[in-house]
Amino acid sequence: MALLVSLLLAVALGWLAQRTGLCMVRAVQGIRMWRPGLLLTIVGCGVWFWLASPLFIHFPLGEVLRRHAIGWPFAVGGLLFGLAAAVNHGCSISTLSALARGQWHMLATILGWVLGWWMLYLGAPDISYTRLTTTFTPAWWLVLSIVAVSLLAIWRLSPAHRRIYAGVMVFGAVGGLLGVLEPLWSPSQLIRDVTERPLAMDMAVAWPSLGRVLISVAILAGMLVAARAHFRPGEYQGSLGRWVKHLLAGIVMGIGASLALGGNDLQLLIALPAGSPGAVVALACMIAGIWIGLAVEERWERRQDRD
């Protein structure tokens, strides 16, 4: 029954990601135009995780809700991930959403993730992380207050913006419920575990469970269903240069996600709700990296237009 519920939530999660156009790059673009609402809503997704806290007694999450002290890998990894996501025009979830719409060059991004993870794994840099043992559980009144303020703010928006922002909030709620049932639900995390497993020297490390595989398939199925009206693969045929660009962006994203112990999806919906200081630094640097990447790209395009 738990797996069935997880699969239904996964389909809803994929559908919502596609329909809302959930993307941190797009949200940072909004901030650069003095429209911070979408980014604030995305960053606040994690608060919905704690609405499912009564279920934690049945699904202990002590080994998943890991908190880490601030360290340079979170800053460097977040910055690299953000810069590359800006070049890629999409982060973790939005890369898969774009692929479901027929943007085949995103396959190069995913291949880049794998190569980036392998490069960092095989390079075996001596990186240490300080895990915090203290638990973190926000006060219930604080969670409900944030939810109430968020709902009031969304209600005051125009209908078009209200639909998008409300969809992002529901995405956070669904992601929180799914995280209770299967904390490692992220497709990018699944790809990483599958690709790094053959490299592991410890043969006791298990392959990802069938349940995780089915959840990722369900997420992609939800994205495909929501993208039916926008599936136009002929519009996204890119040149070799475009494929190389996304491959290189994916490599840097993979290295950055490895250093920061997760991409923006895991940081937003798992690490940040856990109260990890490392996640705060990683997300702040991701946002800064995306901002810098977009600014550099905009300046480059203006220079090309003048020439």
Radius of gyration of the chain measured on its C-alpha atoms: 19
Q: How far apart are CA 199 and CA 292, in angstroms?
A: 34
pLDDT tens per residue, range 200-236: 665 556 788 899 999 999 999 999 999 887 666 665 6
| Closest to 213 (Cα-Cα) out of 183, 179, 190 | 190
Q: How far apart are CA 78 and CA 235, in angstroms?
A: 32
For residues 30 and 280, the model is more confident at 280
Per the structure block, which two tokens stand in for 25? Answer: 């790059």
Is pLDDT above 70 for 44? yes
Return the top range by mean pLDDT from 60-69, 130-139, 258-267: 258-267
Mean pLDDT, the chain, whole residue set: 83
Instruction: Check residue 253 and give its pLDDT.
Output: 96
Place of tokens 């491959």: 247
